[in-house]
Amino acid sequence: MGLIRPLRIAIKTPLDMTGIDILLIVATLGAAIIGIIFLPKLGLPSNQIEIYQNNRIYGRYDLRHNKIIEVPGPLGSTCVEIKSGAARIISSPCPHKICVGMAPIGNKGDFLLCLPNGVLVKWGAQTSDVDAVSR
């Protein structure tokens, strides 16, 4: 009768955590807390746009203040409107008016471009002229 042994299955309960399990949980929580504290300081969307005319900075403008900026270009003036924390091109002398039809920008990395008139509107001001350094 002793030939059949009962099958034993090892089920791990939450209290059976090893030191590595605890270390992994602590490291994950620590990384999350550090990310929450320091991520806003690493360049999340700012409240500024930069406007360039023919690759030269025309001006930096705060998105918290509504205004209309006229940017001169080779074809005439392109009008950029800042309203409700977003920016858009409301008029331009370019022939096809593609830039006027673009949606307002409201996130870091967004941009508006009127290529015929040489106007670029970019969300988020650069802190320096250097984007990257290669060695």
Tell me the per-residue pLDDT of 41-97, one tens digit each, with 9 for 90 and over. 555 446 889 999 998 999 999 888 899 999 999 999 999 999 988 999 999 999 999
pTM of the shown model: 0.59
Look at residue 44 in the predicted model and tell me its pLDDT: 42
Look at residue 30 in the predicted model and tell me its pLDDT: 86
Look at residue 14 in the predicted model and tell me its pLDDT: 62
Tell me the per-residue pLDDT of 18-28, one tens digit each, with 9 for 90 and over. 788 888 888 89
Q: What percent of the chain is helix, strand and coil (3-state, nearest 5)?
A: 20, 30, 50
What's the CA gap between 107 and 87, in Å, rounded? Answer: 10
Structure tokens at 79: 């009008």
Look at residue 36 in the predicted model and tell me its pLDDT: 79
**135 or 114, higher pLDDT:** 114
Is residue 84 left, alpha or beta, with left meaning phi > 0 and alpha meaning psi from -120 to 50? left
Tell me the per-residue pLDDT of 85-128, one tens digit each, with 9 for 90 and over. 899 999 999 999 999 999 999 777 889 999 999 999 998 755 55
